[in-house]
Chains A and B, each alone.
Chain A
């Protein structure tokens, strides 16, 4: 599906700059170099016009999308401290953070505990904090990696690139969403963020991701809800205004879920992603476990 292009290619400035460049090429030498400078300066205005057009285009998601209402009803739709209080942190106190509501409380209409099958519920009894891959510097897996930002989006021909902000939980993560009609590879190929293919249904971008490995944090990396290699994640990206984006997720996983789990996170467009300079060290990441996180499996 072709994207709407919005370059200001017919503006008077562009025409003038193109003429200048042609004249410079004709005269050659240093004049050629000098003629490129105005084009460089003009590109900022061209980029601004392109960004404005992209913002108005419901099928163009270019830009950085973050979640200022992180883990509040504004972003997640429920109060984590209420919806997940029935779960205990390593000290035995109520959990204060979760991506997904454990119970239908605090604004949540549905609770995850009613969607997990017997195996999933048994895992929730078995799990402990130290199993979480984030304390070993592994990137958070989809969908948890999007619990505070959708990322920086670039839409190219046949592919959509989504760069996550580099921190301890998304170091070097760039999602590739293939929009060229290809299929997923066979199950023997697994990727930390899965294999994603996208298509448009009207103005909604539908991204389907499979080929995940097992993860103890595959559905929620705070309360540690796992997902299996049978996991399939469907994202429906919908712009509800030039600067607002809703992504509705549906996670299917017959190993741990008895029925699909669907929820929506709300994002707004930012001027740029947070600037970070980060390289996660496993010893530094795990130190908090050593001094502040008891495990029932300690020996």
Chain B
């Protein structure tokens, strides 16, 4: 049991240590995203852009009876996502999921809404958390 606990701590430490500090270093997540707020968005994946520095998931989301396009931005690069098992194969178009993340401080001009994602919940209940930002910020979900 102690060994398993130790391994878990080691794994968590590895995940934290492996977070892409370099990527955040210049693209300044703090300047664009409201890190004191957390929202959840449920929808269907319509396009996947698995590229660096910010992979993006395009999602159709129903809001007040209207279809709204969201772009879920990933702070992690492609290699970082792969460590969590997130690849093009695990995120096919048509996938239904919920993403948790931070809203933008202000909307851009691209026509879509944005969310900086730190967790995925798939339709079968499987959850993938990219780090523990929610706990780190100590902010309750307010969506």
Interface code A286-299, partner B: CB below 8 Å = 1, 0 otherwise? Answer: 01111111110010
CB nearest neighbor in A for B116: A292
Evaluate contact between B108 and A294: CB separation under 8 angstroms: yes
Evaluate contact between B52 and A89: CB separation under 8 angstroms: no
Interface code A264-299, partner B: CB below 8 Å = 1, 0 otherwise? Answer: 000000000010111111011101111111110010
One of A89, A279, A285 near B31 (C-beta < 8 A): A89
**Binding site secondary structure of chain A:** loop
Evaluate contact between A293 and B32: CB separation under 8 angstroms: yes
Stretch of B88-96, B99-107, B123-131, B132-140 contacting A (4+ beta carbons < 8 Å)? B99-107
One of A93, A281, A283, A289 near B108 (C-beta < 8 A): A289
One of B51, B52, B55, B104 near A292 (C-beta < 8 A): B104
CB nearest neighbor in B for A96: B30
- In this assembly, does A185 line the interface, its C-beta being within 8 Å of a C-beta of chain B? no
Interface size class of A (residues with CB under 8 A): 35 or more
Min Cβ gap B84→A in Å is 16
- In this assembly, does B66 line the interface, its C-beta being within 8 Å of a C-beta of chain A? no
| Chain A residues, Cβ within 8 Å of B9 | none
Evaluate contact between A281 and B33: CB separation under 8 angstroms: no
Which residues B9-37 have CB closer than 8 A to chain A? 20-23, 25-28, 30-33
Residues A293 and B108 in contact in the complex (CB < 8 Å), given A168-B23, A274-B22: yes
CB nearest neighbor in B for A81: B30
One of B25, B31, B49 near A287 (C-beta < 8 A): B49
Interface code B47-65, partner A: CB below 8 Å = 1, 0 otherwise? Answer: 0010111111000000000
Evaluate contact between A294 and B107: CB separation under 8 angstroms: yes
One of A140, A278, A294, A298 near B77 (C-beta < 8 A): A278
CB nearest neighbor in A for B82: A277
- In this assembly, does A134 line the interface, its C-beta being within 8 Å of a C-beta of chain B? yes
- In this assembly, does A79 line the interface, its C-beta being within 8 Å of a C-beta of chain B? no
| Chain B residues, Cβ within 8 Å of A274 | 22
CB nearest neighbor in A for B104: A292
Evaluate contact between B31 and A284: CB separation under 8 angstroms: no
Interface code A129-162, partner B: CB below 8 Å = 1, 0 otherwise? Answer: 1000011000010001001100000000000000
Question: What are 15 inter-chain pairs, A to B, with CB distance below 8 A?
Answer: A135-B27, A140-B26, A147-B26, A148-B22, A167-B25, A169-B25, A284-B49, A284-B53, A288-B27, A288-B108, A290-B109, A290-B110, A291-B104, A292-B114, A294-B107
